[in-house]
Amino acid sequence: MVSLSMEIELTKTKKQKPAPNELGFGKYYTDHMFMMDYDNPEEGWHNPRIIPYQPISLDPAAKVFHYGQTVFEGMKAYRTSDERILLFRPQKNFKRLNLSNDRIDIPQIDEEFALEALKQLIQIDQDWIPTEKGTSLYIRPFIIATEASLGASTSTSYQFIIILSPVGSYYPEGIKPVRIYVESEYVRAVKGGTGMAKTAGNYASGLKAHSGVAGSGFAQVLWLDGIERKYIEEVGSMNVFFKINGKVVTPALTGSILDGVTRNSILQLLKHWNIPTEERLISIDELYEAYTNGTLEESFGTGTAAVISPIGELQWQDKKMIINEGNTGELSARLYNALTGIQNGEQEDVLDWMVEVK
Ligand SMILES: *Cc1c(COP(=O)(O)O)cnc(C)c1O
């Protein structure tokens, strides 16, 4: 049992847990949350506590509302069939939170402390971790600027919060390829901007492009680079991979792309399997050429929520690319089974990724 010196206030009224088939994504929250405050440099981060899940009260002038000074993370905990609780590479998420903090001018957190606090929170709410196949406990750490001031400058106070949400299977009817629209007008991020940080503004700027095509049956947009609108960056909020002529290619991390933990894990697994990989610039013209000459074999997005999301169709201007006849590719399925198998404890943790909560 992890034990940190922090205040713990347990709830007197436990909420009713939803049925596994009603979970969906990010609809339900557990009984408790973690919170910690930051005030001007002298006090630093202080007052870590676990309290009943509840609304927070902020001054309407809090900077997060006006200038978007906020960062977040997303990761998952799993319950294994032998009743262990496993986290998938959580150190990488807290490290990335600090990279995002740095870019958005938010003070650094103690990564080891944050992980111990998270473990303690999960232990308290462990009855909320669903056990059905494909389900998990989604973890959302985030930091908000709370200083009540309309001055457009760095906040002097913050709150660091962790909430937990039991989530259902992303593929209740089996893994299924999606249709993606290649966005040629709007861009998500530019080099030197905030694309490599997990911050709210990146999502806000992407909503309109997504809404514009969602009605036509596209699950997401594929973002091109912000300068030439030529090089492939990401799909929606996932990293993207293409299997071309036996090699697995993914855009290099050039500063405008989010360094996904799933992306990194897929690259490691492929190397472990001796499948050739390439991290490099890949233009939409090169992709279309591979499609027309028959060497574009598979494509998929990667992220914590879906793990692997096969891409069955890409619409680029008036050109349509149907990939692998619109079916889930062999490699996509193999990667999905391997990664989810390691995560839920059914397969050997060959790359030493899982961290047990105990
Ligand atoms: C979170 C995120 C990803 C995926 O990262 P994971 O660590 O694999 O979940 C990819 N792109 C964007 C823009 C993201 O915000």
Neighbours of 241 (CB within 10 A): 26
Can you name the residues that pair with 36 across neighbouring β-strands?
Answer: 160
Question: Domain 178-343, what architecture?
Answer: Alpha-Beta Barrel (3.20)
Q: What is the pLDDT at residue 244?
A: 98
Which parts of the chain have pLDDT scores under 50? none
Predicted structure pTM score: 0.96
Q: What is the pLDDT at residue 3?
A: 58
Pocket flag, ligand 1, residue 344 (CB < 6 Å): no
Listed in sequence order, the residues at least 6 apart from 117 whose beta carbon sits closer than 8 Å to its beta carbon are: 4, 6, 34, 36, 48, 50, 162
CA distances from 310 to 216, 223, 294, 314, 334 (A): 19, 16, 18, 11, 12
Q: What is the pLDDT at residue 99?
A: 98
Q: What is the pLDDT at residue 2?
A: 55
- Taking only the tens place, the pLDDT of each residue in 23-44 is 999 999 999 999 999 998 889 9
Cα 229 to chain centroid distance, Å, stands at 24
Q: What is the pLDDT at residue 173?
A: 78
Pocket flag, ligand 1, residue 335 (CB < 6 Å): no
Distance 290 CA to ligand 1 centre (A): 26
Q: Which is the closest atom of ligand 1 to the Cα of 92?
A: 7
Query: What is the CATH number assigned to the segment(s) 7-167?
Result: 3.30.470.10
CA distances from 343 to 87, 163, 330, 358 (A): 8, 20, 20, 16
Q: What is the pLDDT at residue 169?
A: 84
- Taking only the tens place, the pLDDT of each residue in 172-213 is 777 899 999 999 999 999 999 999 999 999 999 999 999 999
Residue spans of the domains in the chain: they are 7-167, 178-343
Place of tokens 């389900």: 135
Q: What is the mean pLDDT of the chain?
A: 96
Q: What is the pLDDT at residue 118?
A: 98
Distance 285 CA to ligand 1 centre (A): 25
**Rounded to an integer, what distance in angstroms lies between the CA atom of residue 107 and that of residue 100?**
10
Can you name the residues that pair with 309 across neighbouring β-strands?
Answer: 301
Q: What is the pLDDT at residue 1?
A: 52
Among left, alpha and beta (phi > 0; psi -120 to 50; other), residue 105 is left
Among left, alpha and beta (phi > 0; psi -120 to 50; other), residue 319 is beta
Pocket flag, ligand 1, residue 199 (CB < 6 Å): no
